[in-house]
Amino acid sequence: MSLIRKLDVPRLRDEHIIKIVDLMPRSVDELKIIMQGSVVTISAENMKKIVDAVNSASEKK
C-alpha cells in the first residue's frame, strides 16, 4: 500500500488504494475496470505507474 501512496497520484484516496491492493491488477486494462466505479480520473501515465508498482510488489513475494 505504501508503494502506491508514494507515487503521489492526484485524487487517489485510501479507499482506492485498498481496492487496488486487494485486487492486484496486472495490467492497465484491469486497473481501468477496477477504477471505473469511482469518480476519480487517473491519467494513463499514473495508471502505468500504479500497475508497475503492483507488479514489482507481487514479484517480491
Q: How confident is the model at residue 24 (pLDDT cuts 50, 70, 90)?
A: very high
Instruction: Quote the CA–CA distance of 7 and 31 in Å, as a whole number.
Output: 15
C-alpha cell at 8: 503521489
Q: What residue type is assigned to position 42 of the chain?
A: I
pLDDT at residue 61, as a whole number? 62
Mean pLDDT of the chain: 93
pLDDT above 90 for 2: no
pLDDT above 80 for 31: yes
Instruction: Quote the CA–CA distance of 50 and 18 in Å, as a whole number.
Output: 12
C-alpha cell at 46: 499514473
Instruction: Quote the CA–CA distance of 36 and 29 in Å, as a whole number.
Output: 11
pLDDT at residue 22, as a whole number? 95
pTM: 0.89
